[in-house]
Every structure is written in C-alpha cells, then in structure tokens.
Amino acid sequence: MSPVIFSEIKTKNNKRIAIAELNAPKSLNALNMSMFVLLHKQLIAWQNNDEIAMVIIQGAGDKAFCAGGDVVSLYHALKTQRDNSASIESNNLTQTSASIINDETIMASFGHEFFSLEYQVDQLIHEFTKPILVWGDGYIMGGGIGLFAGASHKVVTEKTLLAMPEITIGLYPDVGASWFLNKMPNNIGLFLGMTGAIFNAADALNIGLATIGINSNLKNDVIAGLSDIDWQSNNENYDLLDQALSQFVQQSEQAFKLMPSNVVEHQALITQLTDFDNAADIYQAILALETDNDWLQRAQAKLRKGSPLSAMIIYQQLLLSKDLSLADCFASELNLSLRCCQYPELSEGVRALLVDKDKTPRWAYENINDIPAELLTWFFTPVEV
C-alpha cells in the first residue's frame, strides 16, 4: 500500500477535487522520504492541471493528521555515518565544542536529502497557486505543522492538538516555523517553540496558525458540499471555497467558543516570561515560574527535560529570521538542520526518546549557561554541501 494515497473527485462542472491522504496511521502518519517524494511530484502535477480546482490533504485514521517526521530513520542514517567515520570520537557526548566544530566530516547525505525534500514540499504548499485545504484532525505535530501551516485553508476540529516538540529531541522547530512562529503575537511563538507546549484548536485559531474550525463529524458533509460547487478559475476558487465552508463554520461555532484557550488565558504571563533579550534568561524565567496550572507545568516539564542547547538555538533562529522572506527562512533552516545532523545532540535526543526509549538523554550541556558562544555561532555558519 502506498504511503500516500492520491484520489480525485469529480465535481458539478467536471472540474476535480484532488485528495492526498497520508497513509501511515500506525505511526500517526509520520512523514518519511517516500511521502515527500510522492507529495512533491503529485502536488506539482495537480498545480499544472487546469481540471484540478483545489487540493485536500488529510491523514488516514482517526488519531492524527500527522504527528511529525520520521526522525528514527534519520537517526539510523546518522549513526551509520558516525560509526563509519574514523575522525569522530565514538559515542562521546562530552567532547569539547572545539573538537566537534573542527569535525565537519559528517555531512549526512541522508539528512540533506531528507530535510531538502521536506522543506520543498512545505514551501510548495505555502506558494501553491490553487486552494489547499488541510483537514487537521487529531494530532498535528512537528513536520505535520509544516504541511498544515502553508495551506490556504487550515481546518482544525474539536479533537485537534498541536505542538512543535523538537526541543525534546535536541532539534529546533523547523518546517517553516521560523516564518510562522514569528508571525504569532506577543512572543507566543517563541514560548511554544522553546517549551514544545501542546495547544488546541482554539489556541491555533486565536494565534493565526489555523484559519477554520469545523466539527470533525461534518467532514463527509464538507467534501460532499465541495463536490457540488461550480468551480471556476484559480483566483475565484478561493472565494468559492470560503463560501462553501462558511455554513460548516457556523454550525461548529459554539463548540469552538466554549473551548478553553490556554494561550489566550496566559498571554500576559507568556509576554512577561519572554521579555528578555537573551535565551538563558527566558529559559530560567519559565523554569522558575511557580504555578499550579497544569498546562504551564507541562510546558515547564518539557523545557526542563529538553535540550538546553536546543533552547539557545531556538531563540537565536527566531531572532535571526524575524525579517526574512519565506524562502530565506527555509534556506536558513536547511543550513541549521544540517548543522544539527553534524552535532550529536539530535541523535542523542532521538535515541533516548524514540529508539532506546529510556527517556534519559545525555545532553551535551546540562546547564544553559555553560554553552560556549563559539558553538552557538558555529550552528549558524554556512555548511558547504
């Protein structure tokens, strides 16, 4: 069975609605290389086909749209390269920053291909010339948000839960997060990126990451309604899709009004906690917060267990990309992701959380204040591919 199932629905005037379904429900539709290749090729074909009026991207199963990327395969590829490299100290996570900085032999060809393809798909969705509706039901995390964030019509349901939890594996929020986290008001994007906090549909709508809230049980009615539209040219089709979805938004409005929004409730506090000009002070302020609020406690716990180096990288990446174009954000992220492939932190995080599952990562630096400035600088220097 294909990891992505493609289909098309005929509409009233013989235009067609294209559907791409991520087909790996057992792994919560985690994205792998095959999926990126298939999606990229098919999306371009649909974009160039005048008979296609719009595209729907959805996930198989009822638990997740997409819970992230297949970083386990990336881990194994990096491990093989490290094991085969005579110039790297075997399994030594305490080596000096200088020795790692000088060792750029781990170029991670798999990593370059993996991240390049992923970002090409994400950027294509952002820049697509036809309406794309992502049905974001269930979990949307990491790479799943990369697919979701670029769609013209980002649908969340009462079951949607989102997060950018890369700090837990020694990475940083990529897949265009440099772009969309910076668009969120009041440093909310920085807080969500540094803590990996889970947020719901109401949060996503309030901070602009989602655009439409529809009850999950209306999905079949939505698709039936879309097939009954007299689709026109690309520009007109955006308005036609808006109009068609409006009745379902109205039917669902009450559910989303009643849904609590942790982000809104704690917006002033988030602004206060992130009102510093450096990552270390923000990191320590969040961890020092005394609260009995469950959502904030969970955010603190993720930050506490996550990589302090990742926290520094996340702050720096968002700072440096504030004024970048979308394309430049993706280019910056590709470079940074390759640096993360070269440095052992990512591999160790994936090992602890997803491979050995001992949940005890041996981070390179336990104290954020011990991270050398030269190491942070190295992550943001250009990689020669």
pTM value is 0.93
> Is residue 323 scored above 50 in pLDDT?
yes
Closest CA to 198 of 140, 238, 246, 237: 140
Q: Which of 31-40, 94-103, 216-225 is least confident?
A: 94-103
Q: What percent of the chain has pLDDT over 70?
A: 94
> Is residue 87 scored above 90 in pLDDT?
no
What angle, rounded to 10 degrees, do the helices at 188-195 and 294-305 form?
A: 60
Domains within the chain, CATH numbers bracketed = 4-379 (3.90.226.10)
- pLDDT band, very low/low/confident/very high, at 5 (cuts 50, 70, 90): very high
Report whether 163 contacts 209 (CB < 8 A).
no
Average pLDDT over residues 156-184: 98
> Is residue 95 scored above 60 in pLDDT?
no
- Compute the distance between CA of residue 335 and CA of residue 78 in angstroms, rounded to an integer: 16
More confident residue, 85 or 261: 261
The tens digit of pLDDT for each residue in 18-34 reads 999 999 999 999 999 99
Structure tokens at 16: 């067609």
- pLDDT for res 104: 53
Report whether 125 contacts 150 (CB < 8 A).
yes
The tens digit of pLDDT for each residue in 246-299 reads 999 999 999 999 999 999 999 999 999 999 999 999 999 999 999 999 999 999
